[in-house]
Amino acid sequence: MHTFEIKRHVEYYEADTTGKLTLPMILNWAVLASKKQSDALGVGQKIYLGRGLGWIILQYEVHITRRPKINEEITIKTYAAKYNPFFVSRPFVFFDTNGNEIIRVDSIWAMIDIENRRMARLPQDIIDKYQAERVKQIPRIAKPAQFGIDDVFEENDYHVRYLDIDANKHVNNSKYFEWMQDVITPEFLATHEVTDINLKFENEVRLGHTIQSQVILQEHTSKHRIMLGDVVSAEAEFQWRDVSF
Amino acid sequence: MHTFEIKRHVEYYEADTTGKLTLPMILNWAVLASKKQSDALGVGQKIYLGRGLGWIILQYEVHITRRPKINEEITIKTYAAKYNPFFVSRPFVFFDTNGNEIIRVDSIWAMIDIENRRMARLPQDIIDKYQAERVKQIPRIAKPAQFGIDDVFEENDYHVRYLDIDANKHVNNSKYFEWMQDVITPEFLATHEVTDINLKFENEVRLGHTIQSQVILQEHTSKHRIMLGDVVSAEAEFQWRDVSF
């Protein structure tokens, strides 16, 4: 197993009103660690793009013990854990300077053919570099809880903005966390802290689309859907605990 | 004069669809450099917040020779240039690894009383640390070009989101650049690059507000206003050049 780590320092513009790292930045840092590992192993973006392939994330499971504060130094460790011909599982663990694990992200990745956006078989020479364990079946992450057909939900519209699109010409994954969080009232956010997120991507959204971020909030659980018209773009389930900031 | 510098590496989530550093990140990095200087001089946030004071930016003038690409290493140098009892002028210069100046930001800062949001006199012991030149009058930055009363403009609504608010409980300044840029068509953005921005802040907007980002685009100049109802929140003028990405 080839493990890799990066260090990041929490800057003021990476923190929200609580002074702690934003939810989207947690995901950005995780993806950054995996990108830098791929670069270090000589199988970075140039290599897979050159073959018409791209990595995509299918699902995230995030467990947050605590979010780091502005000026904290964080180490993020990652490795490709298991793979089969189509999927890779990859954990990311965030440590503070005392060596405490403060955030853990599990993720499932796949490769797509850039042209037709269809799932592609993982090239053996690329996957070999990560020294992951080959398995028949990748350990699944449970599906997020579904919306019931009669459930009452809140929703807001969000326009996909120019700056939501990254250099891969697709919406940055972390934007989904922003849309999901933003639909929750500031009053709730001021008195609750996320402990767990399970997010599953279903269909891509694009620049100029207007999506609906829907939420059902019940005590310490929120169920989320990102809808593009009648099509589910992503689903998630968040767990919350009471806090006083 | 006490000059200070920081180094930053452009990460994928700090770049837009062109693969280059976003406009908002230019401002975030500039402000970061000044914050770290203040910390280094022992007059950081704890000190001025402890006296009920906060720094605010009144106006920015940005000149962009080129925006750095993902994975470039950038050095940002800054110093407090001139001050009088109420204002400080501060340049920021961005250098690439070859020592070429690629971006320059001029800015005018003031301090406010946090409670009543009124302008405050700069405490002499704080300002002394920066070893700036005391002057009668700070060199002014020209006002951005105004909207004519009969001018036809385009506009989009933007809701101030939870993540637009930073740890100071105010909208991160850099969000204005996002609102101003986003109202321009992707077709124009795909064929033009900003060379100059002059942005003047007028009135604060807050969480939950819906602002109108208005633009008049004429060849290589765009005039911008951020409106909260009838109140001008910020005005700006952008210069653009033709490019093919």
Is residue B158 packed enough to be buried (19+ CB in 10 Å), middle (13-18) or exposed (0-12)? Answer: buried
Tell me the count of A-B CB pairs closer than 8 A: 86
Residue A67 has what pLDDT? 98
The two structure tokens encoding residue A7: 């260090």
With CB atoms and an 8 Å threshold, state whether B172 touches A13: yes
- What percent of chain B has a predicted confidence (pLDDT) above 70? 100
Nearest CA in chain A to B9: A8
Q: How far is B149 from chain A (nearest CA, A)?
A: 29
In sequence order, what are the residues at sequence separation of 6 or more whose Cβ sits closer than 8 angstroms to the Cβ of residue B125? Answer: none
Q: Return the residue matching tokens 């809808």.
A: A227
Interface test with A, best of B12, B168, B171, B179 (most A CBs within 10 A): B12
| A169: chain B residues, CB-CB within 8 Å | 17
- Is the pLDDT score of A53 beyond 60? yes
Residue A22 has what pLDDT? 98
Hey, how many other C-beta atoms are within 10 angstroms of the C-beta on B85?
A: 11
Asked if B160 contacts B209 with a C-beta cutoff of 8 angstroms, the reply is yes
Q: How far is A224 from chain B (nearest CA, A)?
A: 17
- Is the pLDDT score of B168 beyond 90? no
Q: Where are chain A's structural domains?
A: 4-134, 154-242
- Scanning B71-130 for CB atoms below 8 A from A yields none
- Is the pLDDT score of A37 beyond 90? yes
- Is the pLDDT score of A32 beyond 60? yes
Q: What is the pLDDT of residues B30-66, one digit of tens each?
A: 999 999 999 999 999 999 999 999 999 999 999 999 9
Q: What is the pLDDT of residues B98-128, one digit of tens each?
A: 999 999 999 999 999 999 989 999 999 999 9
The gap between the terminal CA atoms of chain A, to the nearest Å, is 40
Residue A215 has what pLDDT? 98
Q: Which of A12, A16, A18 sits opposite B32 (nearest CB)?
A: A12
More confident residue, B149 or B29: B29
The two structure tokens encoding residue B145: 């070009």
Residue A169 has what pLDDT? 86
User: Can you point out the beta strands (E) in chain B?
Assistant: 4-9, 53-64, 73-78, 82-83, 88-95, 101-113, 119-120, 133-134, 154-159, 192-201, 210-218, 221-228, 231-242
The two structure tokens encoding residue B209: 């507000």
Model ipTM value: 0.95
At B94, which amino acid appears? F
Name the nearest CA neighbour of B226 among B235, B218, B217.
B235
Helix then strand then coil, % of chain B, to nearest 5? 20, 40, 40
Nearest CA in chain B to A162: B182
- Is the pLDDT score of A112 beyond 90? yes
Q: Return the residue matching tokens 């009838």.
A: B230
- Is the pLDDT score of A1 beyond 90? no
CA A1 to chain centre: 22
Looking at the complex, does the CB of residue A216 fall below 8 Å from at least one CB of chain B? Answer: no
With CB atoms and an 8 Å threshold, state whether B13 touches A35: no
| A162: chain B residues, CB-CB within 8 Å | 16-17, 181-182, 184, 186, 189
How many angstroms separate the CA atoms of B181 and B238, rounded? 9
Residue A189 has what pLDDT? 95
How many angstroms separate the CA atoms of A81 and A78, rounded? 9
Asked if A77 contacts A3 with a C-beta cutoff of 8 angstroms, the reply is yes
- Is the pLDDT score of B244 beyond 80? no
Looking at the complex, does the CB of residue A12 fall below 8 Å from at least one CB of chain B? Answer: yes
With CB atoms and an 8 Å threshold, state whether A17 touches B169: yes
- Scanning A173-192 for CB atoms below 8 A from B yields 174, 178, 181-182, 184, 186, 189
Nearest CA in chain B to A160: B182
How many H-runs (helices) and E-runs (strands) does chain A carry? Answer: 5, 13
| A30: chain B residues, CB-CB within 8 Å | none
Asked if B46 contacts B71 with a C-beta cutoff of 8 angstroms, the reply is no
Nearest CA in chain A to B208: A186
Pick the CATH number of B154-242 from 3.10.129.10, 3.40.640.10, 3.40.50.170, 3.40.50.620: 3.10.129.10
Q: What is the pLDDT of residues A123-142, one digit of tens each?
A: 999 999 999 999 999 999 99
Q: What is the pLDDT of residues B65-97, one digit of tens each?
A: 999 999 999 999 999 999 999 999 999 999 999
Q: Return the residue matching tokens 């501060």.
A: B90
Q: What is the pLDDT of residues B13-27, one digit of tens each?
A: 999 999 999 999 999
Q: What is the pLDDT of residues A193-216, one digit of tens each?
A: 999 999 999 999 999 899 999 999
Q: Return the residue matching tokens 């770049």.
A: B15
Q: What is the pLDDT of residues A158-172, one digit of tens each?
A: 999 999 999 888 899
- Is the pLDDT score of B245 beyond 80? no
| A32: chain B residues, CB-CB within 8 Å | 11-13
Residue A245 has what pLDDT? 56
Looking at the complex, does the CB of residue A204 fall below 8 Å from at least one CB of chain B? Answer: no
Is residue A218 packed enough to be buried (19+ CB in 10 Å), middle (13-18) or exposed (0-12)? Answer: exposed
With CB atoms and an 8 Å threshold, state whether B156 touches A156: no
With CB atoms and an 8 Å threshold, state whether A182 touches B163: yes
Helix H or strand E segment including A196: strand A192-201
Looking at the complex, does the CB of residue B38 fall below 8 Å from at least one CB of chain A? Answer: no
| A215: chain B residues, CB-CB within 8 Å | none
Residue B169 has what pLDDT? 87
- Is the pLDDT score of A87 beyond 80? yes
- Is the pLDDT score of B191 beyond 70? yes
The domain over range A4-134 is classified in CATH as 3.90.1150.10:
no
Q: Do B4-134 and B154-242 come out as alike in CATH topology? A: yes
With CB atoms and an 8 Å threshold, state whether A13 touches B186: no
User: What DSSP letter does each residue of A68-115 carry, written as one string?
Assistant: PBTT-EEEEEE---EE-SSEEEEEEEEE-TT--EEEEEEEEEEEEETT
Q: What is the pLDDT of residues A210-243, one digit of tens each?
A: 999 999 999 899 999 999 999 999 999 999 999 9
Residue B89 has what pLDDT? 98
